[in-house]
Amino acid sequence: MTNGSNPPRPTRRTLLTTGAALVTGALAGCSGDTGTNTSSTDAQSTATATATSTATTTAQSTTENTTYAVEMAPVGRVEFEAVPETWVANNGSWADMGVALGLEPPKGVWLPSRYHTRYYDEIPGVSVDASGIRELWGEGGVGKEQFYELDADVHVADPNFLLNRGQWAESDIDEIAEQVGPFFGNSIFSRGYAWHDYEYYTLYEAFGKLAQVFQREDRYEAFASLHEEFQTSLASAVPAEGERPSAAVVWAGGDEPEEFYPYVIDEGTSFKHLRDLKVNDALAATDVKDFYSNRGAIDYETLLEVDPETLLIRGQEAKTRAEFEETVVAYMEDHGVASELTAVQNGDVYRAGPLYQGPITNLVGTERLARELYDVEEDLFDRERVAAVVAGEV
């Protein structure tokens, strides 16, 4: 795609450099006065030189005091001449990190339907109105023109995802980075993409990078401390290995699913809650191919061959637990083949948690599944403390 209707415009870096040059140029023009009084000319030249030096030093000082850089693979070192005020995020992982940092929601994400803001109902005083978040993904991928319309200061997205999944070219990435705002992101949610041959980050490593971008490291550090406490609580809640059920993780949308996309638990952030809960992966040792490797679906007959003790279904996070049980679970209980599954017969079919997790959604989703899998009754994290950190009370 090209953008013939949008002429190049100066970036923040161009504006800052141009501004300093204009100040110097204006002062130099004053020194061009050629009066006959040598002393007056010398004095004027001295004053001009001093003023020019002062202006240049001030401009350099301003640049040094406001310009900072953050490094992340694959984008490398990204410089910021001011803290971004508006932003775009590719998914709910980064959007949730922004909420945790106390930011306004991103102006757009790939698929707002997969950014499940209902999780914030668990946190007092924290809410997100997703109605104003623009959906960026369409039939042809992610349209480039809308980035000009949103005019965000930074695009928190992995450019390689756009190149490999969004039908962009390198020239498109360069154009938006130069004319609108830089890209800063890494596809951390999955380890299944063949093109992702560079460094991955854990959820909190990526969160720390974003905190640097928005200069809110204090909130990040507070969340990191909360997370450590949460891990301690989990350790006492998770049963020994022999007491943990096997679970198959699959994706199935709709109220009456007939086919499923299988997921093998990997090191991506979308599986963090399952790893932290030490869930035994029922599909890992089978011949069922992971969705990322072949994009294939399986049916109830294949699930019955595996017959996991627990079935964890993704694509159902827009539903409450009651809505999920009244639709998906009820349908399986009445299904000729599904009703033979051990998980269905024992009532161990649950929502699998969000595909895109940030620090808040991870806390809420992990605790929810701990209650369902392991009958945990106590709260595993301090909700009031989460709300306080989001509010900047760190």
pLDDT single digits (tens) 153-200 = 999 999 999 999 998 999 999 999 999 999 999 999 999 899 999 999
pLDDT of 140 reads 77
- State yes or no: pLDDT of 228 exceeds 60: yes
Q: Does residue 372 fall inside a structural domain?
A: yes
Q: Specify the pTM.
A: 0.83
Residue 386 lies in a domain: no
Per-residue pLDDT reduced to its tens digit, 337-386 = 999 999 999 999 999 999 999 999 999 999 999 999 999 999 999 999 99
In a domain, 163, yes or no: yes
Q: How confident is the model at residue 44 (pLDDT cuts 50, 70, 90)?
A: very low
380 neighbors 224 (Cβ within 8 angstroms): no
Structure tokens at 311: 């079935």
Give dist(CA 224, CA 229) in Å, integer. 9
Task: Say yes or no: 61 and 80 in one domain.
Answer: no
322-327's contacts with Cβ under 8 Å and 24+ in sequence apart are 324/350, 324/351, 327/255, 327/256
pLDDT tops 60 at residue 9: no
- Are 50 and 76 within one domain? no
Regarding whether 349 and 307 lie in a shared domain, the answer is yes
Number of domains in the chain: 3
**Residue 65: per-residue pLDDT:** 64
Looking at the predicted structure, is the pLDDT value of residue 28 above 60? no
pLDDT at 52: 37
Residue 103 placed within a domain: yes
Query: What is the CATH number for 93?
Result: 3.40.50.1980
* Domain-located, residue 3: no
Asked which of 209, 228, 247 is the last residue of a domain, the reply is 228
pLDDT, position 282: 97
Is the confidence at residue 21, as pLDDT, over 90?
no
Q: In the chain, how long is the greatest CA-to-CA distance?
A: 106
Taken in order 238, 244, 250, 256, the sign of the CA dihedral is negative
Which of 66, 84, 104 is where one domain is finished?
66
Same domain? For 184 and 249 the reply is: no
Which domain covers residue 295, as residue numbers? 239-380
What mean pLDDT value characterizes the chain? 86
Q: What is the mean pLDDT of residues 231-237?
A: 96
Per-residue confidence (pLDDT) for residue 13, from 0 to 100: 35
Evaluate whether residue 7 is within a structural domain. Answer: no
Residue at a domain's end among 193, 228, 263: 228
Q: H/E/C letters for each residue in 224-286?
A: HHHHHHHHHHHHHHCCCHHHCCEEEEEECCCCCCCEEEEECCCCCHHHHHHHHCCCEECCCCC
Amino acid of residue 330: A
The lowest-confidence range among 156-165, 282-291, 321-330 is 282-291
Note the pLDDT of residue 141: 85
Instruction: Give me the pLDDT at residue 137, please.
Output: 94
Please indicate whether residue 304 or residue 43 has the higher confidence score (pLDDT).
304
pLDDT recorded at residue 51: 36
Residues 6+ apart with CB under 8 A from 5: none
Lowest-pLDDT range, 161-165, 242-246, 291-295? 291-295
